[in-house]
Structure 1
């Protein structure tokens, strides 16, 4: 399926001029130079020599618990001790101690390149970006092209990070190729000669193929109906490797479509995942945070502010409860912390545009953070603050097409972001007067339309338009329990409502008084759930 995107390469690098534009030829040249000792070699640290053969053995024997310990604990510890800002050994250096098992080599290279992207000083070279892509092609080809399920089991955390990193590297490559001002002629020629590397079609093809292979959508449908998922899973879908890769690919599509600015399609791919229920298929914290971040952002961009607030509140409360589990030094946890700050900023935007009650602990956190100042400035109608807050908190959007390498323009990587910011700011400008109108409506039960129009220095016709805008913007599509992410029912959730009769505005306060009894009951239930969880851990 992906064989046409790469070939096994074994080039003779002798008499070859470096920088031809072919990354595989360049890599072969580098390896040839390495083999002839023109690059300095160094001895592998003893802990690494002991770790790698054992790591290979537990992977080959599918001992998931030991793989998880190696992946979560030992590998990060060795990285911190020996390769904090430098790459792990290349494959040629470890083959003498681990052998040339293709499956392990592919998995090792996945970790090797991921570490370069995350930690190595200076980041990846253009050759490393290409080689990482080819390695992902080999990995997915091995999994998808096998006539029977491959003999491989990996922990859910690793499987999630494979999908997450694949999309991240696509995102990084899409932005890298648009930054033309710092590229050499050789770099541009290499990009022109390899248009299929990280093309949007190849990335979509991988994710949809994993979803189809695992039958994950059918499994989720049957699971929601209370049936037996194994009856529709098929030979591949019954294996944890394929099932979890399929599930994570759904989340990957959510992220990918959000990065492309298609927020409707981003929510549509989750139509078989009930967001109102606790996740059963995945309990990987980074996956849950990513899911709710992109779902909440998609809701905000489709003007479903109530659903966005509920989504952000749900995951931020989860992060508050699980904060202690995010303390390990891992690039994924760094990403969780960053997304947490971004979600607080997005929640602040939504609460300014669509005020409503949220959990007291979240409200207190918003007041303690810089978001309190942001919310104050946005509520006063400062357009620039909306723009700055949005740019800080939004994803790094990408263009699905490569730039025109023949032009002399400098960089185009900001074009998509600027377009989406402009679309969002158009929506904000339409709502700038709503907070002021709301504040006046709270003061009266009846008021002549003409008098209130005078308060805002507007004509009767202009103010009537503003009131209609208020009605329209406060009426949102709201998700109902058991529905897909796109469905719901229209509700007006404003704390004040009104109607106009004979040039008089009749106002009703629809704000429901807080029921303190319900609050204490919820806290008691949370305490009981926590206590039961602690008991199960002790058992």
Structure 2
């Protein structure tokens, strides 16, 4: 029986997680590490070549054996140890160099995967300036990997965290390339070399090709059957690529500021399918972090609160089981970003129950760009920031937004548009996003003040109520309409919102207003939730568990 089934029953307000798939349980480091003698060895070129040969041959062997557990250790543990020791200051040898050294041809798919790691290492650890050739080669290699996934006749096994990281790194390098293209000066040598190529030979990162690759991967994966998302028991590499590409589309659309498309990209995910993301926890986090930001930017603050609350709860609950992953430290930094957005969303849509969740992070400290030089190494408690935010301090809002906001970029739309791009400040998108929310900040303050004041009265004169809230009578009437719209908005009829978000919304009191002449009558009403569907789902889960128990007898 899967852990996720019990959690669906006992903890229905949380996201489903299969503990067996978390790094501390999944990553089983062997007692005999074939690379152990190299971690402390000298890093001369001969040693580096020996390590590269050993690594690529081990990669080839494990893939032929379909040993995904061994591949996970090789990828998430041994590769990072080698990078931190043998290749700390240099790049890995290219596949063709290894072929010459060992006088043996390397399988093309193995070369693609090995190169993916090499390019990622070079871009992440070695590069202080933009290397156009390196970036273009990495782009072509990713295209080769996706082409292999799309057209492969047979399955090749990969550990799920690597599948997600391929998609995630693909998007990050697109961001990196776009930022360079929009900020580079025309006289840059790397740009000149690319522009000097014939149009038929021009190759560079662009949104059009990325969307084509993502669409083709999803179609190949067959995760949709007759338009319905399906989660198969024996999931293939192609199937995993399809599921995780949905999260990739979400992140990509947030990256370029297309928030409606971001929400639409995950609309077919349902609650039962979420457990698959336990296999790559950073993807699980990305799903809800980027969805929360998209809801925030589309003015759906109630949804933003619950989405961000759920991911913060999940990360905080399971962080102790992530420490074996090479990405554990980065995930904790990402948690800080999510908590900052959670704090902002709670001001845009106050919720007492969610605020109690927020206080679980009372000891969390963050560094902001506004700290002076004397205390720049000290962290400020998030609860102190939240207290200022609740008093509508605009500087605190700016600091938390800057800290929590994901990277945004003006995309290179296509190769045809590559040559015509002009210089642009890449921070403008973040500034624009912040300004958009800042405009709502004053409106939200008035809405929250309205709710606070109106709770004190059962009946009050309209003009008096307007003066208490410090707005005109017409503005007050408009606020009443906005409040009603905010409190009574329905979830969309999509699997994600109906099966995931709906679980997190408990009936909470809302104010109902009745205007008679110059007076307004206020009633606090608690909506009645229909539990029929929830009981049906619980009954189905209990039946599944009962069947599993019987099968064990």
Q: Tell me which residue corresponds to 2:45.
A: 42
| Counterpart Cα distance in 2 of 1:377 and 1:337 | 24
Matched-pair contact (CA < 8 Å) for 1:276–1:482: no
Q: Which residue of 2 aligns with 1:128?
A: 134
Matches within 5 A, 1:503-514: 503-510=518-525
Mapped contact 2:346–2:355 kept (Cα < 8 A): no
Task: Tell me: CA distance 1:193–1:497, structure 2 relative to 1, closer, same or farther (3 Å).
Answer: farther
Q: Secondary structure at the match of 1:322?
A: helix
5 Å-filtered alignment, 1:143-292, equals: 143-146=149-152, 148-149=153-154, 151-181=155-185, 184-193=187-196, 196-218=203-225, 221=228, 223=230, 240-275=236-271, 278-280=274-276, 283-292=279-288
Whether contact under 8 Å (1:496, 1:508) holds in the other structure is: yes
Residue 453 of structure 1: aligned partner: 466
Distance 1:281 1:381, change over 3 A: closer
Find the counterpart in structure 1 of residue 484 from structure 2: 471
CA distance in 2, matches of 1:424, 1:190: 41
1:63 correspondence with 2:45 = no
The 3 A distance-change label for structure 1 pair 492 and 384 is: farther
Displacement after TM superposition at 1:104 (Å): 1.5
Q: For the residues of structure 2 that align with 1:399 and 1:321, how far apart are their CA atoms?
A: 36
Show the counterpart of 1:344.
339
Give CA-to-partner distance per residue, 1:393-416, whole Å, 9 cap, x none: 122112233688678x75431233
Name the structure 1 match of 2:146: 140
Corresponding residue number in structure 2 for 1:391: 402
CA contact (8 A) 2:343 2:358 kept: no
Structure 1 residues 156 and 219, CA gap change in structure 2 (3 angstroms)? farther
> Relative to 1, partners in 2 of residues 1:484 and 1:377: Cα closer, same or farther, differing over 3 Å?
closer
Comparing 298-307 with 94-103, greater Cα deviation is found at 94-103
Query: Residues 330-368 of structure 1, C-alpha deviation per residue, up to 9 Å, x if partnerless?
Result: 2x4344223211111111111111111335773323433
Tell me the TM-score normalised to structure 1 length: 0.76
Q: Is the 1:498–1:507 Cα contact (8 Å) retained in structure 2?
A: yes
Q: What stretches of structure 1 of length at least 5 have no aligned partner?
A: 1-39, 231-237, 513-539
Helix, strand or coil for the counterpart of 2:523? strand
Q: CA deviation at 1:473?
A: 3.2
- Cα distance, 1:460 vs structure 2: 2.3
Query: How do residues 494-505 of structure 1 correspond to structure 2 at under 5 angstroms?
Result: 495-505=510-520
Summarize the alignment of residues 356-505 of structure 1 with structure 2, pairs less than 5 Å apart: 356-358=351-353, 362-369=357-364, 370-401=381-412, 411-478=424-491, 482=495, 484=497, 495-505=510-520
Counterpart CA distance in 2 for 1:129 and 1:93 is: 19
Q: Is the Cα contact below 8 Å between 1:174 and 1:399 reproduced in 2?
A: yes
* Pairwise CA distance, 1:129: 0.8
Aligned to 2:114: 108
SS across alignment from 2:162: helix
> Could you tell me how far 1:210 is from its partner in structure 2?
0.4
| SS class of match (2:521) | strand
Equivalences, count: 457
Runs (5+) with no aligned partner, structure 2 = 1-42, 365-380, 528-553
Asked whether 1:319 is paired with 2:332, we answer no
Query: Conserved in 1, the CA contact under 8 Å of 2:362 and 2:382?
Result: yes
Q: Distance in 2 between matches of 1:376 and 1:191?
A: 51
Whether contact under 8 Å (2:68, 2:157) holds in the other structure is yes
Give SS of 1:499's match.
strand
Whole-angstrom CA distance in 1 between matches of 2:61 and 2:329: 30
Query: TM-score of the superposition, structure 2-length normalised?
Result: 0.74
Partner of 1:79: 83
